[in-house]
Amino acid sequence: DVKVTQSSRYLVKRTGEKVFLECVQDMDHENMFWYRQDPGLGLRLIYFSYDVKMKEKGDIPEGYSVSREKKERFSLILESASTNQTSMYLCASRRRLPYEQYFGPGTRLTVT
Amino acid sequence: DQQVKQNSPSLSVQEGRISILNCDYTNSMFDYFLWYKKYPAEGPTFLISISSIKDKNEDGRFTVFLNKSAKHLSLHIVPSQPGDSAVYFCAASATRSGGSNYKLTFGKGTLLTVNP
């Protein structure tokens, strides 16, 4: 079974703090993704990485950066957290083919 | 511009009956479609997918139908069970679109409630 793990299930941070969200997959998947899920907005893609050290902006990259130094690990960074970044953050991974993405359990981030 | 639309935010059905979840898309480049199920406080779980070369794909109680001319797909769950109660997301991919083929575009989701 594919396993995607995220470093925290719940996180509370203050405005202006630097926040790191870590994601690890154990299935040697090439592609990894970061989404946020908000009520009424569905899942929106923040960034994705199609290979180690490669990254591309998704639909809502503003205020975020990412790092992928190793194949199994993909980090999402909030340089200066703001209250509008309070959300559920979901990491996913997949092989190049097939196209199904496998998701981690999510991190509920609250910025106060 | 919402390229994948799930126009029903919620659906309620009786246990044992059929649940039909609908999804429409606007991007004619989409050629691969997926359904995910999501319980509260968990990540989405892949359910079933369909390629545009097919019009139906079946997996146990779950069947996905694709109508390319109408740019419409639906997920049928028969029979519905209380454990099926969750948010269902439709997603689409343009697999022949070069750099974009990594991406899934998701709908906003439909909350299915199956009543005992």
A99 with B93: Cβ contact below 8 A? yes
Using 50, 70 and 90 to split pLDDT, how confident is the model at B98? low
User: Mean pLDDT over residues A3-26, rounded?
Assistant: 95
Q: Strand B110-115 vs strand B10-14: parallel, antiparallel, or unpaired? A: parallel
Under 8 Å CB pairs connecting chains A and B tally to 54
Are the CB atoms for A92 and B46 separated by under 8 Å? no
Are the CB atoms for A2 and A102 separated by under 8 Å? yes
Measuring CA to CA, how many Å separate A33 from each of A43, A88, B24, B56?
11, 14, 24, 28
The CA-based angle A32-A36-A42, given to 5 degrees, is 110
Q: What is the pLDDT of residue B96?
A: 76
B102 with A44: Cβ contact below 8 A? no
Q: How far is A68 from chain B (nearest CA, A)?
A: 16
Comparing CA positions, the residue from A103, A83, A79 lying closest to residue A12 is A83
Using 50, 70 and 90 to split pLDDT, how confident is the model at A99? confident
Whether the predicted pLDDT of A16 surpasses 70: yes
